[in-house]
């Protein structure tokens, strides 16, 4: 490709709203262009990189037994009514009304369509398993599109769905997909970690995410180096410190004038945070829920939301708390009636806690569960943090930031039951098909690749997904000797199957070098009057500082070997 002919140019300045490296560099390198909030065009060079990712994904899906098909973006809303998922997608769902006043949905995902498709196509256990997939555009009306390609409203996704006769079949399909995902990220040159993920309120058994570790990532990964435990912070658990076991003492009222926070009360009474019980109020789908958790821990809202199976969950406002008749700062579950009480299982770890007395300026000492209060639900609803103890071994948990680039999910049978996807087993009995779903956002992966691979000058593409393998910079194109040598090498490299971007623009060396760094092609070849004097060229990996001087004779072979080795690029 000749740079001078390319549609789209490099820009000096990043968009003013660009707050992450991938957004800044992909726009400045002329690889993507914004059309509307969260809506982007891929320019030729960006599209080339995306196609490389797509090809790797397609090859690995096919190798794992996937069958590619294509389903429409326009989906009848009736299928969504049948699946019961309208409420959970709520405002993120784009919908349109056709000329006959019939409502359709712009697909944010395709479980509904594919389950209906399989329902019509699969009759017996002999037709299973099936692993259909597609690579296609999805639509989600994100409330705050941002970060360039990281959070958009129209995006390209690979979505595969597994249909099996039973759980054992699903486990096997899941295992195949996990392996395929590991292959994909390895082949893209993007180290990813697999973490346990939240599987949502509706459920499924197992769910894992694949994360690219990068400081700018918006997801937190909690992990243990000892045993390999790794989970998304939304899902992560920790072994809660057991607390002291003492003989149970009688409940005692203490005056705590004006002391509302756990900090103030613990300091005043000279006890550790873990020796107190904290009350937190939430509103779940309009109903107040009373939460009890040990004072040293925080509530994990994802866990709470899943436990309550609610759609809307937020901390109760002051007005909501007052309306419920609760004494903020001094509330506790003791003698409390008329509220749903949910407690973290940490309340069982420890004895003789300090808790609110449900009247102003007063706390209680020596509160013990279950002697002094009852709860409706007891479960793990606590946040796991760095420094906590690993739930699987005695190691210390660590934390790092990452970007989610893939998700695998065991759905089970709830969708096939709702949408009527049944098959006949060996004995002729009708059974719901067991499902799984497996997604990779391609644009998100492209952006995450840039987040993981850049410096202050620009992108540093991993070789397997770089738009070109070589960027050739002839300096001073008005010098016929230089251009002849460059054209000759360009043709020979292309004949050898190497992808070359030839910077044939009449620009200064400084501009060419800056753009080469910005665009981030792994290998740069410079031909100048000076290199020609020695019948050589200057070859440099984007990641390295120093170029290597190589003779023009045999250069094509040498470059082919470098590209094959992957080098340090
Ligand atoms: Zn561990």
Q: 206-260, pLDDT tens digit by residue?
A: 899 999 999 888 899 999 999 999 999 999 999 998 888 889 999 999 999 888 8
- CA proximity to 172, closest of 57, 65, 62: 65
Backbone angles phi, psi at 61, to 5 degrees: -65, -45
Say what the alpha-carbon torsion angle 294, 297, 298, 303 is, to the nearest 10 degrees: -80
C-alpha 385 to ligand 1 mean position (Å): 13
- Cα 196 to averaged position of ligand 1 atoms, centre (Å): 13
CA of 396 to the centre of ligand 1 (A): 7
* Position 523 pLDDT exceeds 80: yes
DSSP assignment of 168-205, as one string? Answer: HHHHHHHHHHHHHHHHHHHHHT--EEEEE---TTT--S
Ligand 1 centroid to Cα of residue 350, in Å, is 23
530-533 LR contacts (CB < 8 Å, sep 24+): 532/481, 532/482, 532/485
User: How far, in Å, from the CA of 408 to the mean position of ligand 1?
Assistant: 23
- CA dist 405 and 49 (Å) reads 16
> 230 CA distance to ligand 1 centroid (A)?
9
Q: How far is the CA of 239 from the centre of ligand 1 (A)?
A: 10
| Joined tokens for residue 176 | 């195949």
**pTM listed for this prediction:** 0.90
| Residue 464: C-alpha distances to residues 50, 339, 446, 521, 534 (Å) | 11, 57, 12, 11, 32
**Average of per-residue pLDDT across 156-162:** 98
- Digit-coded pLDDT (tens) for 265-312: 899 999 999 999 999 999 999 899 999 999 999 999 999 998 998 888
CA of 394 to the centre of ligand 1 (A): 6
> Which DSSP string corresponds to 356-418?
E-SSTTEEEEEE-TTTS---SEEE--BPP-TTSBPSSSSPBPEEEEEEEEEEEEEEETHHHHH
Ligand 1 geometric centre to CA of 194 (Å): 15
Rg (CA), the chain: 29
CA of 393 to the centre of ligand 1 (A): 4
Average pLDDT, the chain: 94
Q: Is 118 left (phi over 0), alpha (psi -120 to 50) or beta?
A: alpha
Q: Retrieve residue 282's tokens.
A: 């939430």
Residue 147: per-residue pLDDT: 83
Dihedral of CA atoms 168, 172, 175, 179 in degrees, nearest 10, equals: 180
Residue with tokens 């995006």: 155
pLDDT one-digit tens code per residue, 427-485: 999 999 999 999 999 999 999 999 999 999 999 999 999 999 999 999 989 999 999 99
Q: Determine the angle formed by the axes of helices 44-63 and 167-188, rounding to 10 degrees.
A: 140
Predicted local distance difference test score (pLDDT) of residue 509:
96
DSSP 8-state code for residue 150 = G
How far apart are the CA of 383 and the centre of ligand 1, in A? 17
Q: Residue 344 C-alpha to ligand 1 middle, in angstroms?
A: 22
CA dist., res. 513 & res. 22, Å (int): 20
How many Å lie between the centroid of ligand 1 and the Cα of residue 399? 13
Query: What are the tens digits of pLDDT across the range 384-410?
Result: 999 999 999 989 999 999 999 999 999
All residues at 6 or more sequence positions from 161 whose CB lies less than 8 Å from its CB, including other chains: 110, 111, 114, 115, 118, 131, 132, 133, 435, 436, 437, 438
State the pairing for strand pair 103-106/132-139.
unpaired
- Residue given tokens 């089970």 in the structure block: 412
């Amino acid at each position: 490709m000749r740079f001078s002919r390319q549609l789209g140019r490099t820009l000096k300045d990043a968009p003013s709203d660009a707050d992450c490296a991938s957004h800044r560099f992909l726009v400045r390198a002329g690889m993507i262009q914004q059309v509307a909030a969260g809506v982007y065009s891929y320019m030729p060079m960006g599209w080339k990189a995306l196609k490389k990712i797509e090809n790797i994904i397609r090859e690995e899906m096919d190798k794992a037994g996937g069958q590619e098909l294509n389903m429409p973006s326009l989906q009848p809303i009736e299928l969504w009514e049948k699946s019961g998922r309208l409420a959970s997608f709520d405002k993120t769902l784009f919908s349109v009304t056709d000329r006959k006043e019939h409502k359709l949905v712009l697909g944010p995902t395709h479980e509904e369509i594919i389950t209906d498709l399989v329902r019509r196509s699969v009759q017996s256990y002999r037709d299973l398993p099936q692993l259909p997939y597609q690579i296609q555009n999805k639509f989600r009306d994100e409330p705050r599109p941002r970060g360039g390609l990281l959070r958009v409203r129209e995006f390209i996704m690979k979505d595969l769905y597994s249909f099996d006769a039973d759980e054992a079949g699903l486990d096997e399909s899941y295992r195949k997909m996990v392996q395929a995902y590991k292959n994909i990220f390895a082949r893209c040159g993007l180290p990813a970690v697999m973490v346990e993920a939240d599987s949502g309120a509706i459920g499924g058994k197992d769910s894992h995410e694949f994360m690219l570790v990068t400081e700018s990532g918006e997801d937190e990964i909690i992990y243990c180096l000892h045993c390999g435990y790794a989970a998304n912070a939304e899902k992560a658990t920790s072994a809660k410190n057991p607390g002291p076991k003492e003989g149970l003492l009688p409940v005692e009222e203490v005056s705590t004038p004006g002391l509302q926070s756990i900090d103030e009360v613990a300091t005043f009474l000279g006890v550790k945070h873990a020796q107190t019980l904290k009350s937190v109020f939430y509103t779940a789908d309009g109903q107040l829920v009373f939460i009890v958790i040990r004072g040293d821990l925080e509530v994990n809202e994802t866990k709470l939301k899943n436990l309550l199976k609610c759609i809307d969950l937020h901390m109760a406002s002051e007005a909501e708390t007052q309306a419920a008749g609760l004494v903020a700062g001094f509330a506790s579950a003791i003698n409390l009636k008329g509220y749903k009480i949910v407690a973290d299982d940490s309340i069982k770890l420890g004895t003789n806690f300090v808790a609110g007395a449900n009247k102003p300026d007063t706390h209680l000492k020596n509160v013990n569960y279950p002697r002094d209060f009852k709860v409706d639900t007891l479960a793990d609803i606590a946040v796991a943090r760095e420094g906590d103890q690993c739930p699987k071994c005695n190691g210390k948990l660590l934390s790092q930031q990452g970007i989610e680039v893939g998700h695998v999910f065991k759905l089970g049978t709830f969708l096939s039951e709702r949408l009527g996807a049944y098959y006949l087993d060996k004995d002729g009995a009708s059974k719901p098909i067991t499902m799984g779903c497996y997604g990779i956002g391609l644009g998100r992966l492209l952006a995450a690749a840039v987040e993981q691979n850049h410096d202050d000058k620009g992108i540093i593409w991993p070789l397997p997904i770089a738009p070109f393998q070589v960027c050739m910079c002839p300096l001073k194109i008005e010098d016929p000797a230089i251009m002849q040598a460059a054209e000759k090498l360009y043709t020979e490299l292309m004949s050898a199957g190497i992808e070359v971007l030839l910077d044939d623009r009449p620009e200064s060396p400084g501009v060419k070098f800056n753009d080469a760094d910005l665009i981030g092609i792994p290998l740069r070849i410079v031909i100048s009057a000076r290199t020609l004097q020695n019948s050589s060229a200057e070859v440099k990996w984007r990641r390295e500082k120093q170029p290597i001087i190589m003779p023009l004779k045999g250069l094509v072979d040498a470059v082919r070997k470098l590209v094959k080795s992957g080098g340090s690029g």
